[in-house]
């Protein structure tokens, strides 16, 4: 899938460069070489290189410029052949200066483009790192929120438990011994999760231990 996409991209870039590089020659053919004459003849061809260097890497832009220059040279030679002129008489030295200026502009454009791409890559990497840190921070915040909620629930339940314990302790003062021991077992079971418990006391008459309060035992097993 990626290889097919890359191949499609290369074909698209090749077609774009080919069409753009051929624009000066097509305009020259349409105008018959009259407007783009002599000193200004090479100007459109010279601009191809820097313009391509802005949008594409240096090597494809250079190939496009070479194609454009070759087309311009072929058309200039054709005009000279039709008019019976020498190519150096038809094109003054200033046209070569224009091509040299286009080359310098292309190098400058390529340098600026490369610097922009490097900076863009740098900022993209920084953005990705910032997003990654933000995602990790959000995960930590969610974990802390859950921990905070758990702690709040525990504190709230402890407050309720303390209130309940206080009420039970106050209630013990108004109960007789058996009721107080039963309430004590119920309170212990409530706070500890005890399933079965007993409190024994010494029976002076029988001179043995007897259950004073029982919690969790089936009624038939208490006998």
pLDDT score, position 25:
82
Residue 35 has pLDDT above 60, yes or no: no
Identify which of 37, 41, 17 has the alpha carbon closest to the alpha carbon of residue 98.
41
- Gap between the Cα atoms of 8 and 97, Å rounded: 37
pLDDT single digits (tens) 136-176:
999 999 998 888 888 777 766 666 666 666 676 776 666 67
Residue 127 has pLDDT above 80, yes or no: yes
For the chain, give the longest Cα–Cα distance.
149
DSSP state of 223: -
Residue 44 has pLDDT above 50, yes or no: yes
pLDDT score, position 132:
92
Beta strands in the chain (DSSP E): 197-203, 208-215
Q: Are 90 and 37 in contact (CB under 8 A)?
A: no
pLDDT score, position 160:
63
First to last CA, the chain: 82
The model carries a pTM of: 0.49
Q: Are 36 and 45 in contact (CB under 8 A)?
A: no
DSSP-assigned states of every residue in 29-63: HHHTTSSS-GGGTTHHHHHHHHHHHHHS-HHHHHH
- Gap between the Cα atoms of 102 and 47, Å rounded: 6
Query: At a CB cut-off of 8 Å and minimum separation 6, what does 52 contact?
Result: 17, 20, 21, 60, 61, 64, 65, 106
pLDDT score, position 42:
74
How sure is the predictor about 106, in pLDDT bands with cuts at 50, 70 and 90? confident
């Amino acid at each position: 899938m990626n290889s097919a996409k890359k191949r499609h991209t290369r074909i698209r870039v090749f077609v774009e460069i080919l069409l753009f590089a051929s624009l000066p020659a097509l305009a020259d053919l349409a105008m018959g070489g009259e407007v783009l004459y002599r000193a200004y003849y090479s100007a459109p061809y010279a601009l191809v290189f820097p313009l391509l260097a802005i949008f594409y890497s240096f090597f494809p832009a250079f190939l496009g410029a070479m194609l454009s220059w070759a087309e311009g040279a072929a058309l200039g030679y054709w005009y000279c052949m039709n008019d019976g002129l020498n190519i150096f008489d038809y094109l003054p030295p200033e046209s070569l200066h224009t091509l040299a200026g286009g080359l310098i502009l292309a190098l400058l454009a390529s340098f600026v483009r490369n610097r922009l791409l490097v900076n863009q890559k740098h900022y993209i990497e920084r953005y990705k790192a910032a997003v990654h840190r933000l995602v990790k921070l959000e995960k930590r915040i969610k974990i802390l929120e859950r921990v905070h909620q758990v702690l709040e629930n525990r504190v709230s339940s402890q407050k309720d438990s303390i209130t309940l314990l206080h009420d039970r302790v106050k209630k013990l003062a108004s109960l007789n011994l058996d009721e107080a021991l039963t309430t004590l077992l119920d309170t212990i079971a409530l706070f500890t999760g005890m399933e079965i418990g007993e409190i024994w006391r010494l029976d002076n008459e029988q001179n043995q231990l007897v259950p004073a309060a029982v919690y969790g035992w089936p009624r038939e097993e208490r006998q």
